[in-house]
Structure 1
């Protein structure tokens, strides 16, 4: 009897330890999403524009016709290439896709999203059963928890935007092989034509899984949907406020919030912050985008201005550091946002949330 009691006690203790471990793993995974939502969206960089800035030939992938004329969903991949950034992967695939017979729509890391080609046509990312049905997005491997959270945040927001763009609703296909959000593993399991199991192993490294990632996608999808609904039901909308752009966009330049009467507030939204454009209004002969109730930003912080590079130059970081790998040739055209800003005594124009170009080198 005494032995039975001891065994029962041991079993109970082991059970508690198991439950505690499972709960700990769930909390850890959930906290990734909580952490991710604190970060800003990096916005999309288009491969052909990036390559033009770097003086590299763009080897356009021709695309695959979708089976039903448009994408049916999105396949989530991970690169299985530790240390390689989205930029590294984009350069490699642009150069080698004809030799390796592989291509995807975008690479995502903690700092940027590089869209390789328009998702209007398919790519070679998940085998013949999926290539003519789904958008393919590769998540790059990160080496810290914070960077991982930033990367999945970028990925989830980008995917949510694509779902809206193609009028698709989030539906997790990983458990039953039916839906709009697939892992490469799910494609292997339910469709075949490939044997990859990503991103499961990489996600597990961070105590994460596809269900958690799906929840993050769904969160941003619903957030974007809510904001769009608010716009369509806005009772204060006037003819003057029909938007030139509409929906979720990213600020290309730091932007102060103005009231509808043109009064500048103390609230500043930094470059890279996501906002939802509800309309536009001319205030004191200047165009502003409405992003909330009695909240407007200078349109130049969203609408890009095309400028020509008159002197060969380099891109700089927000702190003024030269990006030696990003040389811009004379005669190239760049898109700038907002007015000039001063960094360490020199004037710059913003190209995006993290890259700047010397004002003296462009027209």
Structure 2
């Protein structure tokens, strides 16, 4: 199985290769039949399947771990492959190229940790962007579902890394990129995907070319929906505490926030990498929030240092073994008590020994 035609560029810095597909000249459509179909059918994007493979290298973005500057949309340029064929091929050939995720008409599969860069567009783009591939599909419904999945996933990644939608096609600056836009504005490869695939597939099934401009409109739609406050804020009672707790293995099911979710209009999801998460690691709790809905939240910090400004809110389900932080007095008393017990033990032993010798 041949995934796509790979154009290898010089292995410069961390810009190992350029992968997949064709250039991007984005022409905006006043109306998109593909987008209209997605909206009229109320197509729901697929959920992300996490299938992280630890064999991929872990190199930081140019500004550090978990600090991408945008998202690159690719297409495999292989009409006969499946999403699982593509993933298997990439694992075998990651030294040449790899991306973070794959998308088709029914799945979004994340195979590489997006906190670290991938090798998909060459230098300098690799050190800047999260990247994912679209597998070619072959029906009207499948293409509409794939576009929906890809646009939603792009919006999800922007939201996850606190980036705002900005179409890079017009000035070579922004957060939403085709591989073609990267090649044109930053170099690193000669590919133009997914423009050709969008154009021909849109015309085949909808009678109209699909464009990156139309795709960007779907990204904005999903991004805005993610950031609209649909629910009324609830009240919360805040209490200052001095506790410690361990990070639960369930933490990946929840999120980290800068404020209590649902109780503060400025609450926004944060990346777990901000607190260097590790199951069983001890974090310190300086405040609790009891929401009127009944749930409890904790404000955590990495150390007991009271001057540290690194503090985030988490749902109580993220933590276990919550208890008071031992004070200096308590610790000293416990130590003294232990020493006293040891002395008593030694004394009793001596008496007993003496008695036996008689």
Q: Kindly report the root-mean-square deviation, in angstroms, between the aligned alpha carbons of the 2 structures.
A: 2.7
Say whether the 8 Å CA contact 2:181–2:192 is kept in structure 1: yes
Q: CA deviation at 1:63?
A: 2.7
> Partners in 2 of 1:96 and 1:201 — Cα distance?
25
Q: CA deviation at 1:34?
A: 2.3
Say whether the 8 Å CA contact 1:177–1:190 is kept in structure 2: yes
> Partners in 1 of 2:195 and 2:293 — Cα distance?
47
Residue in 1 that maps onto 2:348: none
Question: Which one of the candidate residues 216, 229, 232 is aligned to 1:214?
Answer: 216
**1:15-164, aligned counterparts within 5 Å?**
26=29, 30-37=32-39, 38-48=42-52, 58=53, 60-69=55-64, 70-98=67-95, 101-164=96-159
Residue in 2 that maps onto 1:265: none
Structure possessing the higher radius of gyration over alpha carbons: 2
> Partners in 2 of 1:190 and 1:89 — Cα distance?
27
Change (3 A) 1:280 1:208: farther
More strand, by proportion: 1
Q: CA deviation at 1:26?
A: 4.6
> Partners in 2 of 1:281 and 1:113 — Cα distance?
33
Q: CA deviation at 1:281?
A: 5.1
Say whether the 8 Å CA contact 2:47–2:108 is kept in structure 1: yes
Say whether the 8 Å CA contact 1:47–1:90 is kept in structure 2: no
Q: Deviations over 1:208-231 (max 9, x none)?
A: 0100000000110011111xx345
Residue in 2 that maps onto 1:236: 234
Q: Deviations over 1:326-359 (max 9, x none)?
A: xxxxxxxxxxxxxxxxxxxxxxxxxxxxxxxxxx
Question: Which one of the candidate residues 174, 194, 198 is aligned to 1:199?
Answer: 194
Secondary structure of the residue aligned to 1:97 is coil
> Partners in 2 of 1:220 and 1:171 — Cα distance?
14
Correspondence 1:189 to 2:178 = no
Q: Deviations over 1:241-284 (max 9, x none)?
A: xx98469xxxxxxxxxxxxxxxxxxxxxxxxxxxxxxx99569x
Change (3 A) 1:203 1:60: same
Residue in 2 that maps onto 1:176: 171
Say whether the 8 Å CA contact 2:234–2:292 is kept in structure 1: no
> Partners in 2 of 1:223 and 1:236 — Cα distance?
20
**1:303-318, aligned counterparts within 5 Å?**
none
Secondary structure of the residue aligned to 2:227 is helix
Q: CA deviation at 1:36?
A: 2.3
Structure 1 spans left out of the alignment, 5+ residues: 1-24, 49-57, 248-278, 284-302, 304-363
Change (3 A) 1:235 1:193: closer
Runs of 4 or more above 3 Å deviation: 235-240, 243-247, 279-283
Secondary structure of the residue aligned to 2:126 is coil
Secondary structure of the residue aligned to 2:94 is helix
Say whether the 8 Å CA contact 2:234–2:293 is kept in structure 1: no
> Partners in 1 of 2:82 and 2:194 — Cα distance?
16
Give the alignment's TM-score, normalised by structure 2: 0.54
Say whether the 8 Å CA contact 1:42–1:111 is kept in structure 2: yes
Say whether the 8 Å CA contact 1:106–1:115 is kept in structure 2: yes
Q: CA deviation at 1:47?
A: 2.0
> Partners in 2 of 1:33 and 1:133 — Cα distance?
29
